[in-house]
Structure 1
Amino acid sequence: MVRTDLYTPYDVNDFPLNEYPRPQLRRDSYRSLNGLWHFEIRKEKFIPSEKREILVPFSPETNRSLIHEEIPQGYYLYYKKEVSLEEFANKEHILLHFLAVDQVCDVYINQKHAYTHEGGFFAFEIDIAPYIKDNVALIEVYVLDLTDDSFELTGKQRIKHGGIWYKGQSGIYQPVFLEAVHKDYIKNLTITPSSRLDGYHLKLETDTKDRITIETYFNGKCVHRIETLNHEVFIPLEAPKLWSPSEPNLYEVVIKTTTDEVKTYVGIRLFERKKDDQGLMRFYLNHEPYFLNGLLDQGYYSDTYLTNPSDQALIDDILLAKRMGFNFLRKHIKIEAYRWYYHCDRLGMLVMQDMPNSTERQDIIFFGILAILGIHPKDSRYKLFGRKHLEGRKNYLRDLNRTLNQLKNVTSIFTWVPFNEAWGQFDSKKAVEIIKRVDQTRLIDHASGWSDQGISDYYSRHIYFTPIWFRKSKAKKRIASLSEFGGYSLKINNHIYQEDVVFGYKVFKDKDALMKALEKLYLKKVASKIKKGLSVLVYTQLSDVFDEVNGLITFDRRVIKVDEEKINEINAHLYDVFMEATRKKT
C-alpha cells in the first residue's frame, strides 16, 4: 500500500522557499512569486476546468502542493497569478524567472504570448516589460508534461515507475521570481578560478559602455578593487585562501555599473588528473592527491519529490554526509536548485554532476550484463542504446549545453557525467568534446558504469552483485572509480513509500546487521583496492527514494539508519589508507 502521508519534518508555509534563489548572481530588486496561484487541470489547453489553488513551486502530484493528484497523460496544467508592479515602475526591464518547469510550457503576460520553453530541468527568464499595462502583470502558464512519452530529458521519471524508476511530476517545481533592472544591466557572468591558483577570471555579459567597478572581499574585508571598461578581466589575489571540503574558503565579489549592482562569489581551487609517485592515475585537488569518497544523491523528498521542501532540507542532507565523513555527493540524473550548489560551496562538499538523461529503452540490464562480461558496444549504434530518434539526440545536446551554462560558476562541481549506465548514450566522444570546449577546469566521466568508450578521465565501474575488482593497469591510464556500489537495504516501517515493496541490492533485517555489512564492505572489500589505484567511491545511496530503501536515511528524512560516528571512523580509515598509498617515497 502506498503511503500518502509521508511528510518530511520541514515546515512549509504559504510563501515557501523565499530565500534568494540564485546566490551565484544576486540583486536587491527581488520579489518571490512563490505561494498560492490559481490552478486548473485541463483536458484541452484553452478550455477552462475546475478552479483550484496550488502552492507554487510544488508539483501538483506532491503532498505539499495542496493538489496531490496524478495528472492524466496528455492533460494541460494551467497556472494564473496577477501581480502589481508599481515598485518596478521606473525600471526599463522586468525579468520574470522560472527556475524549472516540467516539461513544455507557454507563458502569457496580459493575455499575450511571451515565451515558449521546452525542457524540464532548466531555468529561463522573460523580459515582460513590453507586455505590462497599468503596472499590472497577469501571468498565465500552460504546461504539458508527457514524461518519458516524449523526446525530452526526464531523469528517472517514468510513466511505468517502480524499482529504480520514479513517479513522474509536472508543472512548476522550482522558485518563480521577479527582478527589475535598468538598461545596460549585467545579463550574465562567468567566474573561473585561475589554474595558477593566483586569482580568478571574470567575464561579464552586458551592453554598458561605462566603467565597471569590481570589488573582491574575504571575510568582509576588501582585498582587491578595480575600475575598468573591459568586460573580461583577471583579478589577481595575493596568497589566496584556497577552497577545499575541509576549508571551504569563498571570496565575495561585488560588481557595479552605473545602473546595476550584482553580487557573486568564487572559490579558488584546481581539479586535476595526474599520476602519483607509483605511476597510478589519481584525482588531485590543489596539487595534492585526494581520495574521493561520496554518496549517490537523487535529490528526492517524500512530500515534494524533486523540489526541496525548505532551504534547511538541502543543508541537512549535506551536513549529514559531512558528519559521516563523505567529501562529495554525486547528484544523480538531476539538475538541483541553485541553492543546493551554493550550500555545497559554502559548507565544503564536492559535487559530481550527472546529466538528467533519458532513454527509449527499458531493458537497461542488458548493458549491465555486457559490462560484467567486459563487452562495451560502440555508442554510435543509436537504436541499441535507445537513441534512434534524431529529436531525442538534439534535445540531449541542447540540454548538455544548458547544464554547462547554468552550473558553470559552481565552485564545488569537479566532474561532469554526461551518460550513466548506457541510458540513451550516444556519441559520447562528441559530448566530451563539447564539455571540454566550454569547460577546461573540470574532469569528465563520459560513461558512468557501463559501455565505456575508453575516453575521458575515469575508468568508471558500477559493481553491485559481483566481487569488487580493478585491473591495476587500468589505473595507470585513467582514474579508477567505483562510481556506484553497495545499495544495501533496510526497511524502516512507517517511513517508507510502500509498506509491501522493498527494492535494493541486498536486504537486511535491522540496523546492527546493516552496520556490520557496511563495515565489511568498506574495510574488507574496498580498502585493499586503494593501493591498486582505486581513487573514487560512490555508495548507493544517501536517502531512500520511493520503492528504493537502500538509503542511509529514510525517504521522509526522519530516521538515520546507520551509526554516524562509526561510518565516520570507517571513512577516516579509508583516507589513511589512501594517504599511505600515495605517500611520496624517499
Structure 2
Amino acid sequence: MTVLRQEYPRPQLKRNSWVNLNGEWDFSFDDKNVGQTEHWNENFPDSLKINVPFAFQTKLSGIHDTSFHDVVWYRRKVDIEVNESQKAILHFGAVDYHSHIYVNGQLVKEHIGGNSSFSVDITDYLSDDNEIVVRAFDPSVDQTIPRGKQYWCEESASIFYTRTSGIWQPVWIEVVNATYIKQVRWTPDIDAGHIRLELEPSQLVDSLKINVQIRFKDQLLVDDLLLLNDGYLDRSFNVRGHFVDRSNIHNDGWYWTPENPSLFDVTLKLVQDDTTLDTVESYFGMRKVGTNNGRFQLNNKDYYQKLVLDQGYFPDGLLTAPSGEDLKKDIELAKALGFNGARKHQKVEDPLFLYWADTLGFLVWGEMAAASEYSEKYVERMTNEWIEVVNRDYNHPSIVAWMPLNESWGISRVNHEKRQQAHSMSMYYLTKSLDETRVVFSNDGWEHTKSDICGIHNYSNAEQVKANYETLEKTLSIKPANREIYCEGFSYDGEPIMITEYGGIAYTVEDKGWGYSSVKSSEELIEGYQAVTSAIGSSELIHGFCYTQLTDVEQEINGLLTYDRQPKCDIEQIKAVNDTINNHI
C-alpha cells in the first residue's frame, strides 16, 4: 500500500524527528465482540490489511466496507529505540469512538471521543520487539454519541452520510527527552502589542530554562532565556515594540487577517545548563475577535464574514483528506470563489486544515460534531470531548468562533425544556471559560439561549429573504423550520445577526441527488446564487453569511463544486457576486 498522509500532523507543536505510523496495519472485524475475552491484544487473529489513517468504510483504506461493524482491531509492529533518558510518546489524531490502546499486550490508554486527539507515554511498555494494538468501539446506532453527519442507518440518506469508524487521523511516535515541552498556548493582545505564552514542561528539573525566539518575516524580535521555577510558565512578550523597522509599529501590517495573514514564527528550546533537551517550532497570529454595536469585529474594525459551509468529506476518504494538499486546495478554492472563511460543519477538522487556514488567511468557525438525542450520558460525552477540542485548537488564529451546538441537534426540546436550556447555556459558558478570545454560539440556526452572534438558517428564495430582513421585528419573528429564533425566556440583546445557512441550490453534473432548491444549468446556478446572496447583502440588519455549501457530499448535491472538487460554474462569477457584498462597512 502507498503510504499517504506523510506530513507532520501537529504544526502548532512541531518536532523535526518523528516516526510516521500511517500506512499498512493488520486489521480485523470483531462483530461478535470476543476480542477482549480472547485477548486479541496479545494474540491477534488472522487479519485483513488496512491503510491507516483511513477508516474501513473508505476506498483508501483498502477495505471499503460500509456495513455495520461496531468493534474493530488494529495491529502494527514498530521499531523504536529509547535510551534511559528518553520517552516514547504515541500520538493519535483521532479514533472514532471509544479506543483501547495496547503496547506489547498491555493496556496503556483508554480514550472516549471520536473527534479529539490524545497521546500516551509508552516508554515503560517497550521491549526489543514492539507491537501496538488498537481496539475501537463505535456503536453504529447510538444517537447520544457526538457523531455529526455519520448516519445510524447503513445506507446514506438526506443530510446524513457514510460512517467513519476507528482510526481516521494520523498516528505517530516521538522519541523525546524525559524532560520535554508538553503544552504550549498562545494568546494575542493586539491592543497592548503583547503575545502571552503559557508553557508546560513534562516535569521540573534543576536549572531548567526555556529559550524563546520569535521572528516576524525573518526579523528576530525576541530571544529570551527564562528560568522555569515551577511546572508552568506564563509570560508575555512585547512584539510590537520590538520591531526594528519602526515604520511597522503604527500600521496593521503585523495583524493577522484573511487579506494579510501575517504569522510570527517561534522556536522554543528547553535547556538545562548547556544541554538542549527539546526543540519545537510553533507560530502565532496577532488578531482580536469581538463584537460591537451589532457587528462582528476583527482587530477592532467591523468585518463582514462571507463564509461557505464546508463539511470536509472526500469521495475516497470520507472525513479523512487523502493529503494535506487536499486540505489546502479546499481553502484555495473557497478563496477563489470569493469567500473569506468557512464554517466547518459537523466536523472537528484536521489540524493541517487549520494550519493552511492560518497560513493562507481563512476564517474558520470551529463546530462540534453533534449527537441526535439528549441524555445524561450525552451531556458527559459532549462536554468532555468539547473541552479536548477547544484546548487542542486554541492556538490557531484562523478560528474566530466556536459552535458547540447546531440546530438544536441533541437538544430538540430546548425551546421550552429548562434542562436542555441549561445545557445550551452551560456549553456557552464552558467555552467562554476555556477561551475568552473568540465569539461563541450556544446554538446555531434557531432557538438561541445565550450567544455572541444571532445565527439564523433560512433556505427561502431571494424575494422571501429580502422581505424577511427589512426590519428587526420581522427578522426576529420569522420561524425557520418552524422554530423560534430565541428559546422561551430568552431574547435578542443586540448581538450581530448573520444568516449562517442559506442557498443550498442543487445542480447535478453527473449524479442524482437533492438540495434545498434546484436549477438545471451552470448559468441558473450563478443567477440563483447572485439573487439570494445579494438579497442578504442588501439588508442593513444582516452582518455576515454562510452559504450552503462548498462541495457536494454523497447524495447532497448543493455544492458550488462537485464531490471531487470540480467547479459547477464559473468561479470568477461567484467571486464577483461576493466581492460586491460589503454591507455598508
Structure 2 length normalisation: TM-score? 0.86
Structure 2 residue corresponding to 1:168, chosen from 138, 142, 163: 163
The amino acid of 1:92's aligned partner reads Q
Does structure 1 conserve the Cα–Cα contact (< 8 Å) formed by 2:197 and 2:236?
yes
Matching residue of 1:405: 391
Identical-pair percentage: 32
User: CA 1:477–1:162 in structure 2 vs 1: closer, same or farther (change >3 Å)?
Assistant: same
Structure 2 residue corresponding to 1:182, chosen from 148, 153, 177: 177
Matching residue of 2:110: 116
Structure 1 residue corresponding to 2:538, chosen from 528, 531, 543: 528
Does structure 1 conserve the Cα–Cα contact (< 8 Å) formed by 2:66 and 2:162?
no
User: CA 1:45–1:29 in structure 2 vs 1: closer, same or farther (change >3 Å)?
Assistant: farther
Matching residue of 1:352: 365
Q: In the TM superposition, what is the alpha-carbon distance from 1:147 to its structure 2 partner? A: 3.1
Matching residue of 1:234: 236
Structure 1 residue corresponding to 2:77, chosen from 78, 82, 92: 82
**Partner Cα separation in structure 1 for residue 186 and residue 572 of structure 2:** 37
The amino acid of 2:327's aligned partner reads L
**Partner Cα separation in structure 2 for residue 33 and residue 313 of structure 1:** 20
User: CA 1:128–1:314 in structure 2 vs 1: closer, same or farther (change >3 Å)?
Assistant: same
The amino acid of 2:218's aligned partner reads G
Q: In the TM superposition, what is the alpha-carbon distance from 1:90 to its structure 2 partner? A: 5.3
| Corresponding position: 1:38 with 2:26 | yes
| Corresponding position: 1:438 with 2:438 | no
Structure 1 residue corresponding to 2:281, chosen from 248, 263, 283: 263
Matching residue of 1:419: 405
Does structure 2 conserve the Cα–Cα contact (< 8 Å) formed by 1:487 and 1:505?
yes
Matching residue of 1:547: 555
| Corresponding position: 1:327 with 2:340 | yes
The amino acid of 1:315's aligned partner reads K
Spell out, residue by residue over 1:342-374, the C-alpha distance to the aligned partner (whole angstroms, 9 max, x if none). Answer: 0000000000111111112xxxxxxxxxxxxxx
The amino acid of 1:542's aligned partner reads L
| Corresponding position: 1:216 with 2:214 | yes
**Partner Cα separation in structure 2 for residue 314 and residue 51 of structure 1:** 32
**Partner Cα separation in structure 1 for residue 135 and residue 267 of structure 2:** 37
Q: In the TM superposition, what is the alpha-carbon distance from 1:326 to its structure 2 partner? A: 0.5
| Corresponding position: 1:288 with 2:290 | no
Between 1:502-511 and 1:44-53, the stretch displaced more is: 44-53
SS at match of 1:227: strand
**Partner Cα separation in structure 1 for residue 111 and residue 144 of structure 2:** 14
SS at match of 2:472: coil
Q: In the TM superposition, what is the alpha-carbon distance from 1:254 to its structure 2 partner? A: 0.9
**Partner Cα separation in structure 2 for residue 333 and residue 485 of structure 1:** 16
**Partner Cα separation in structure 1 for residue 189 and residue 518 of structure 2:** 47
Structure 1 residue corresponding to 2:497, chosen from 480, 485, 493: 480
**Partner Cα separation in structure 1 for residue 280 and residue 34 of structure 2:** 39
Spell out, residue by residue over 1:452-479, the C-alpha distance to the aligned partner (whole angstroms, 9 max, x if none). Answer: 22x2211111001362223436687010
Between 1:200-209 and 1:435-444, the stretch displaced more is: 200-209
SS at match of 2:538: helix
Q: In the TM superposition, what is the alpha-carbon distance from 1:196 to its structure 2 partner? A: 1.6
Between 1:426-435 and 1:290-299, the stretch displaced more is: 426-435
1:89-128 residue pairs with structure 2 within 5 A? 89=83, 91-128=85-122
Spell out, residue by residue over 1:498-550, the C-alpha distance to the aligned partner (whole angstroms, 9 max, x if none). Answer: x4x41111111111111111122222x22221xx2211100000110111000
Q: In the TM superposition, what is the alpha-carbon distance from 1:325 to its structure 2 partner? A: 1.1
**Partner Cα separation in structure 2 for residue 235 and residue 79 of structure 1:** 45
Report how many residues are paired.
520
The amino acid of 1:395's aligned partner reads R
User: CA 1:222–1:141 in structure 2 vs 1: closer, same or farther (change >3 Å)?
Assistant: same
Matching residue of 2:445: 449
Matching residue of 1:507: 518
Q: In the TM superposition, what is the alpha-carbon distance from 1:107 to its structure 2 partner? A: 1.0
**Partner Cα separation in structure 2 for residue 254 and residue 434 of structure 1:** 31
| Corresponding position: 1:60 with 2:73 | no
Matching residue of 2:126: 132
The amino acid of 2:325's aligned partner reads Q
**Partner Cα separation in structure 1 for residue 532 and residue 185 of structure 2:** 42
Q: In the TM superposition, what is the alpha-carbon distance from 1:71 to its structure 2 partner? A: 4.3
User: CA 1:91–1:309 in structure 2 vs 1: closer, same or farther (change >3 Å)?
Assistant: farther
The amino acid of 1:414's aligned partner reads V
**Partner Cα separation in structure 2 for residue 567 and residue 350 of structure 1:** 19
Does structure 1 conserve the Cα–Cα contact (< 8 Å) formed by 2:215 and 2:266?
yes
SS at match of 1:403: helix
Q: In the TM superposition, what is the alpha-carbon distance from 1:422 to its structure 2 partner? A: 0.4
| Corresponding position: 1:14 with 2:2 | yes
User: CA 1:195–1:219 in structure 2 vs 1: closer, same or farther (change >3 Å)?
Assistant: closer
**Partner Cα separation in structure 2 for residue 460 and residue 569 of structure 1:** 25
**Partner Cα separation in structure 2 for residue 434 and residue 476 of structure 1:** 20
Does structure 1 conserve the Cα–Cα contact (< 8 Å) formed by 2:4 and 2:23?
yes
Matching residue of 1:574: 581
Structure 1 residue corresponding to 2:380, chosen from 359, 375, 394: 394
Between 1:232-241 and 1:42-51, the stretch displaced more is: 42-51
User: CA 1:476–1:128 in structure 2 vs 1: closer, same or farther (change >3 Å)?
Assistant: closer
The amino acid of 1:521's aligned partner reads V
**Partner Cα separation in structure 1 for residue 184 and residue 456 of structure 2:** 36
Spell out, residue by residue over 1:420-467, the C-alpha distance to the aligned partner (whole angstroms, 9 max, x if none). Answer: 1000133211111111111110001221102122x2211111001362
Between 1:201-210 and 1:348-357, the stretch displaced more is: 201-210
**Partner Cα separation in structure 2 for residue 53 and residue 91 of structure 1:** 35
**Partner Cα separation in structure 2 for residue 391 and residue 465 of structure 1:** 36
Q: Structure 1 runs of 4+ off > 4 angstroms?
A: 47-50, 473-476
The amino acid of 1:463's aligned partner reads N
**Partner Cα separation in structure 2 for residue 256 and residue 49 of structure 1:** 44
Spell out, residue by residue over 1:379-421, the C-alpha distance to the aligned partner (whole angstroms, 9 max, x if none). Answer: xxxxxxxx1x211111111112112111111111111111110
**Partner Cα separation in structure 2 for residue 18 and residue 414 of structure 1:** 28
SS at match of 1:235: strand
**Partner Cα separation in structure 1 for residue 504 and residue 85 of structure 2:** 53
SS at match of 1:166: coil
**Partner Cα separation in structure 2 for residue 571 and residue 127 of structure 1:** 49
**Partner Cα separation in structure 2 for residue 261 and residue 539 of structure 1:** 42
Spell out, residue by residue over 1:139-175, the C-alpha distance to the aligned partner (whole angstroms, 9 max, x if none). Answer: 0111111134153211111122311011112111100
**Partner Cα separation in structure 2 for residue 148 and residue 154 of structure 1:** 10
User: CA 1:159–1:456 in structure 2 vs 1: closer, same or farther (change >3 Å)?
Assistant: closer
**Partner Cα separation in structure 2 for residue 269 and residue 237 of structure 1:** 13
| Corresponding position: 1:149 with 2:142 | yes
Q: In the TM superposition, what is the alpha-carbon distance from 1:562 to its structure 2 partner? A: 2.0
Structure 2 residue corresponding to 1:339, chosen from 335, 349, 352: 352
SS at match of 1:516: helix
**Partner Cα separation in structure 2 for residue 57 and residue 400 of structure 1:** 22
User: CA 1:73–1:40 in structure 2 vs 1: closer, same or farther (change >3 Å)?
Assistant: closer
- Aligned-residue Cα RMSD (Å) equals 1.7
Matching residue of 1:363: none
SS at match of 1:482: strand
